[in-house]
Amino acid sequence: MTDEPTTRDRLVQAATRLFRQRGYDGTGLTEILAQAGVPKGSLYHHFPDGKADLACAAAHWTASEIIRVIDDSFRTAPDWRHGVTTFCYKMAKLFDILNSADACPIFGLMFEGPDHERFRAQAEQSFDRIIAAAANYGEALGLGPEAALDAAETFIIGFQGSWTLARTRRKSDVLRGLPNRLYGPA
| Interface contacts to a copy of itself, rule CB under 8 A | 22-26, 101, 103, 107, 111-113, 116, 120, 123-124, 127, 150, 153-154, 156-162, 164-165, 167-170, 174, 178, 181
How far from chain centre, in Å, is Cα 14? 15
Binding mask 103-142 for DNA (x = CB under 7 A): ----------------------------------------
27 forms part of the interface with DNA (CB under 7 A): yes
The nearer residue to a copy of itself, 9 or 31, going by C-beta atoms, is: 31
Q: Which residues lie closer than 8 Å to 150 by C-beta, 6 or more apart? A: none
Q: List binders of DNA among 3-22 (CB under 7 A).
A: 6-7
Least CB distance to a copy of itself at residue 36 (A): 20
Interface residue with DNA, options 5, 40, 112, 128 (CB under 7 A): 40
Length of the chain, please? 186
**Phi-psi region at 148: left, alpha or beta (left = phi > 0; alpha = psi -120 to 50):** alpha
> What is d(CA 43, CA 39) in angstroms, rounded to the nearest whole number?
7
- Element spanning 164, H or E: helix 145-169
Nearest Cα residue to 142 out of 74, 70, 64: 74
Least CB distance to a copy of itself at residue 40 (A): 21
Residue type, 12: V
- The answer to whether the Cα torsion of 127, 56, 175, 186 is positive or negative is positive
The nearer residue to DNA, 7 or 160, going by C-beta atoms, is: 7
Least CB distance to DNA at residue 55 (A): 10
The nearer residue to DNA, 7 or 136, going by C-beta atoms, is: 7
Beta-carbon-side half-sphere exposure of residue 17 (alpha carbons within 13 Å):
15
**Contacts to DNA by CB under 7 A:** 6-7, 25, 27-31, 38-42, 44-46, 49-52
